[in-house]
Amino acid sequence: MNILSAGQDGNETVFVQQRNSFVEIDYSDMAEQMLSRSDVLHIRKDDKVYVVGDDALNFANIFGKETRRPMQHGILSSEESSAIPMIKLIIEQVVGAPSRPNERLFYSSPADPIDSELSTLYHDKTLESMLGDMGYDPEPINEGMAVIYSELADNNFTGLGISFGAGMTNICLSYYAVPVMQFSIARGGDWIDNQTAQATGTAVDKVTSIKEDGFELDFRTDVGGVEGALSIYYENLLDYVIENIEREVDEEDIEEGLDVPVVVTGGTSSPDGFEELFEHHLEDSTIPFSVNEVRSIERPLYSVARGSLVAARSEEESDGGSHKSSSSKSKSNSKSNSKSKSKKSKKSKKSKKGTEASAESN
């Protein structure tokens, strides 16, 4: 899972991200000096040092430890006592300070899952308070709807957007930018990793590293091994998501004459072959409306953050805002989105500023 932001810097969109994780190591003066010189994001508490964000997974693999996460199942973890200070540190690095008082910021919010008793209310209100304390004017946006804003402008914001995140999968059916159906499922990339780890006896962080390092979904499942187990649980997740879409469409009594595209995004949809595998499973479904195409994008991890930024800019324009965007250059890791101009930037403890900012987890 990653925490991401998107902000406007002149005519360019700047993305900043950090991994939603941290690892605890023993404190020593030498260790803290080396971490500071290496620009590794960390904080000290008593006799422990917590390495936070992107570097946490590397440290966990080196020291043979498991990373801990301030967010689990797509929301703030109730089982992690350090969740609030850790997520606060990550968000401060990713979002940065507002460029003006009460700068508008849209942050993605998952829908309540239909297959779990999890509630997103505490998560939403905590993030709202945290961002408000930073000087922003925060506004939640449904994660699935953010996908629609990001990827379906060419179809009048009409279609089915699916965000395959780490803790949850969020689904939204929109008709001319009006949500017709939106819900989430309490399974995502973390569920795949955990099931694979249990099946193969492999550490979860090791499974995650394998999945993120060139893993492909190519319709061939090798018996045994982490890659084979990952393929099995990916297919199971897709079947589960499609079954729940069918059920919700029936309950919402969606019009059968619809003919819409489906967009799949989110970090869990990153492996090569995901789009083809999803389309293959969709062919066997009984969804009562027509799907004219299945789309994936080159940088699925950034879709929700970009859609949140689109929503923020759209609201600003509708409110009659006429001022121009201004921003300092980002010095955090970022990658270009296939459908927007963006700049690559170096890793730093500084983060971008923008007229609109948006944050999401994936």
The answer on pLDDT for 323 being more than 50 is no
Domain containing 169 — which CATH number? 3.30.420.40
Strand ranges inside 159-266, DSSP E: 159-164, 169-175, 178-185, 259-265
SS3 338: coil
Does a structural domain hold residue 211?
yes
Alpha carbon distance 309, 2 (integer Å) = 17
pLDDT score of 63: 81
Residue 130 belongs to a domain? no
Q: Are strands 357-361 and 159-164 parallel, antiparallel or unpaired?
A: unpaired
Q: Tens of pLDDT along 85-103?
A: 899 989 998 999 998 999 9
- Answer whether residue 87 is part of any domain: no
Q: Which two tokens stand for residue 80?
A: 């992690």
Q: Structure tokens of 300?
A: 């699925």
Q: What is the pLDDT of residue 221?
A: 63
Cα gap 318→77, rounded to integer Å: 36
Please give the mean pLDDT across all residues of the chain.
84
Which residue range is the domain that position 245 belongs to? 150-301
Name which of 120, 130, 125 is nearest 92 in CA terms.
130
Q: Please classify residue 248 by burial: count the beta carbons closer than 10 Å to its beta carbon, then call 0-12 exposed, 13-18 middle and 19+ buried.
A: middle
Give the least confident one: 61-70, 74-83, 186-195, 216-225. Answer: 216-225
**Can you list the positions of beta strands (E) in the chain?**
2-9, 12-19, 22-26, 42-45, 48-52, 71-72, 75-76, 103-109, 136-142, 159-164, 169-175, 178-185, 259-265, 290-296, 357-361
Looking at residue 59, its pLDDT comes to 85
Amino acid 24: pLDDT: 87
Cα separation, 361 vs 75, whole angstroms: 9
CB of 114 closer than 8 Å to CB of 181 = no
As a whole number of angstroms, the distance between CA 187 and CA 73 comes to 8
- 207 in any annotated domain: yes
Q: Is residue 185 part of a domain?
A: yes
Taking phi first (over 0 means left), then psi (-120 to 50 degrees means alpha), and beta for anything else, what does residue 96 get? left
Kindly state the helix (H) or strand (E) to which residue 334 belongs, with its residue range: none
Query: Is residue 353 in a domain?
Result: no
pLDDT, tens digit, 9 for 90 and up, residues 111-121: 999 999 999 99
pLDDT per residue as tens digits for the range 27-49: 777 777 777 777 788 878 777 88
In this prediction the pTM is 0.82
pLDDT, greater one: 183 or 349: 183
pLDDT value of residue 361: 53
Assigned domain for 237 exists? yes
Element (H, E) at 55: helix 54-63
Q: For residues 14 and 329, what is the distance between their CA atoms, to the nearest angstrom?
A: 9
Report residue 346's pLDDT band, with 50, 70 and 90 as the boundaries: very low
In angstroms, how far is CA 56 from the centroid of its own chain?
Answer: 18
Weakest mean pLDDT among 78-92, 187-201, 333-347? 333-347
Structural contact between residues 157 and 148, judged by C-beta atoms closer than 8 angstroms: yes
Span 236-262, mean pLDDT? Answer: 90
Q: What is the DSSP secondary structure assignment for residue 355, as one 8-state letter?
A: S
Q: Cα–Cα distance between 54 and 33 in angstroms, integer?
A: 19
What contacts 281, CB < 8 A, 6 or more positions away? 235, 238, 239, 242
Q: How confident is the model at residue 167 (pLDDT cuts 50, 70, 90)?
A: very high
Q: Indicate the residue type of 87.
A: I
- Position of tokens 């590794």? 40
Residue 124, token pair as written in the block: 């939403």
158 falls within a domain = yes
80 DSSP assignment? -
Inter-residue contact 147 to 217 (CB < 8 Å): no
Higher pLDDT, 142 or 361: 142
| CA–CA distance, 344 with 342 (Å, rounded to integer) | 7
Count of domains observed in the chain: 1
- Termini Cα distance of the chain: 5
Across the range 244-270, mean pLDDT stands at: 89
Angle of helix 225-252 relative to helix 189-200, nearest 10 degrees? 140
